[in-house]
Amino acid sequence: MFENAEIIYSYTRKQAIEDGMQWRVSGEYESMPREVGYKWPVYLTSGVVGLIERAINNKKHCNDFSGVLWDVLHMSRVMSRSVNDRLREFKVIITGAGRAKYHTLYIASGPVDIDDPAPCLTIMLPEEN
């Protein structure tokens, strides 16, 4: 139906990263997705990064970024349920990130970008879906 439709505008993952709207799990954390069992690159939305930062900035709970990120990645792998063919929902406990103890997140599969069809995973808040 939309095979010959002209794309008016597209917001690429590269632009989202440059704008701070997405973050690739890389650097010192790059091995975590593989340790959890993911073969594809994993991206976090700014909302998920903000949730993690709120948890680590709350000194009452002694969180660190790698520990909370591990929890998010692990729960996305072992406790997710299918929403549709490209989206899964999971819950994770993140103490110190707000009043809620359990946080619902989504993990979506898709291409890295319009120009890069390689598969990747994106972890996001429900409202970012």
Q: What is d(CA 10, CA 58) in angstroms, rounded to the nearest whole number?
A: 37
Contact criterion met (CB below 8 Å) for 73 and 29: no
**Is 55 within a domain?**
yes
Higher pLDDT, 115 or 22: 22
- Per-residue pLDDT, averaged over 1-9, amounts to 72
pLDDT tens-digit series, residues 79-107: 999 999 899 999 999 999 888 889 999 99
Least confident residue range of 38-42, 101-105, 113-117: 113-117
Supply the pTM of this predicted model: 0.88
Confidence bin at 10 (pLDDT 50/70/90): confident
Q: Where are the alpha helices (DSSP H) in the chain?
A: 13-18, 31-36, 46-57, 65-78
Containing structural domain, residue 73: 22-128
**Is 9 within a domain?**
no
**Is 107 within a domain?**
yes
Instruction: State the total domains in the chain.
Output: 1
From residue 2, give the alpha-carbon distance in Å to each of 6, 10, 26.
Answer: 9, 15, 35
**Is 4 within a domain?**
no
- Per-residue pLDDT, averaged over 22-43, amounts to 93
